Amino acid sequence: MNFERFIARRFLPRDRNSYSGPLVSIATYSIALGVMVMVLAVSILRGFQGEIRQKVVGFGSHLVVTSYAMGNTYEETPIGTDRPEVERIRQTPGVRHISFYANKGGMIKTEDQIHGIILKGVDSGYDSTFFASNMVEGRLFTFPDEKAGNEIIVSQTIANKLGIALGDKVRTYFWQGESYRARAFEVCGIYNTDLADFDEHYIVGDLRQVQRLNEWDSTLAGGYEVLVDDFRHLDEVGNSVLAQLGYDLTMNTIVEQNPALFAWLDLLDSNIVLIIIIMMMVCTVAIVSALLIMIFEKTSTIGILKALGSTNGSIRRIFLYKSAAIIAKGILLGDAVAWLLGWLQQRLHLLHLDSANYMMENVPVELNPTTFVAISVGSLAVCLLALLLPTAYISHIEPAKTIKFD
């Protein structure tokens, strides 16, 4: 052990009448509080962003390929499912899955109510993980081998408005040119995603039902839904997929389809930055105050060390070592409390939200080790840099005056 560390380990005030003792405790708990708030703020906001992103992607996929000549949203221009572009998309690096879908606008009619809907037809290769995780009652629909499936899942919002229960037969009407076509579906499941714009309108069923309504053959669909391996590489993979398409096809990312929502999610990052700046200021003020009091209290000791031959740099390192130990203790305490609170929220859902305003029922928390490490290392570095200025006062302490004073 070197000289500076040896002295620093014995600088912790044990005298109850010491001024620096309580300040060191206050600084430790202030740093712990700041780190805890920063970690929880980042974890909650990242969890919120991830939860909303996952729900929106669950309805619309990461990338959507449609006909370039597409008309309005609910009357799609069909594209072939056997086109060579399909296999090229599957082979594109970063693409995880591709499936086919089609939307059809219509309405559900009960004895006393009418409600506008969008029937989203999906094929047997559809990744149903999202809807399976958001089922309230019942189960997902099946895909019979010989004919179009007659089962659908509806949102809890639609079910509550129209008084639809699990197992009910619902009468639907879909526009086809100047007339309409009627279909009777059986409700096999009820889902809830808390995304009002989607839950208000979407029912989901077999793609072959939409093909029959539109008089398409089995090789036609409204578009391709493409899932990517990593959302962070969405634009890169999207450009690669776009390069594989023919002149009559176009592609949109989920961000381009929902610009306002994703702009709002990006805006939350500025809140994270603001919280981190404020908490860093709290941490630095607390440790700088404690260090200055320690220096003032140890003035005579500093004078003796200088008289014995210690340099200003050596004495600075003593106080920096002591401060680093205080900061590290506060950071570890803050990380431990943040992890415990985050873990309890994940398991027990102690804090609830208004789903009508926040699009989820519970406060989401993403406990990512990278967040803990980044905030801990950043806090330690910022606090130590802030200590360089107060330790400069050590060079102004003259041994003759401090020893003579004692």
CA dist list (Å): 197 to 147, 158, 270: 31, 12, 26
Answer yes or no: is pLDDT of 69 > 80.
no
Residue 177: what pLDDT?
72
Strands 114-122 and 202-206: parallel
Average pLDDT value for residue range 90-112: 92
Strands 202-206 and 63-67: unpaired
Residue 404: what pLDDT?
57
The answer to whether the pTM exceeds 0.75 is yes
CA dist list (Å): 361 to 332, 344, 349, 355: 31, 16, 9, 5
Q: What percent of the chain has pLDDT over 70?
A: 91
Question: Hey, which residues does 63 pair with through a beta bridge?
Answer: 226, 253
Residue 406: what pLDDT?
44
Answer yes or no: is pLDDT of 21 > 50.
yes
**pLDDT band at 15; cut points 50, 70, 90:** very low
Average pLDDT value for residue range 271-293: 86
Average pLDDT value for residue range 184-194: 93
Using CA atoms, how far apart are residues 91 and 111, in angstroms rounded to an integer?
50
Average pLDDT value for residue range 250-269: 88
Cα–chain center distance at 208: 35
Tokens linked to 180:
């309409």
Q: How many residues does the chain have?
A: 406
Mean pLDDT for all residues in the chain: 86
Whether 390 contacts 295, CB under 8 Å: yes
Tokens linked to 344:
């309890």
Average pLDDT value for residue range 46-54: 89
Answer yes or no: is pLDDT of 400 > 80.
no
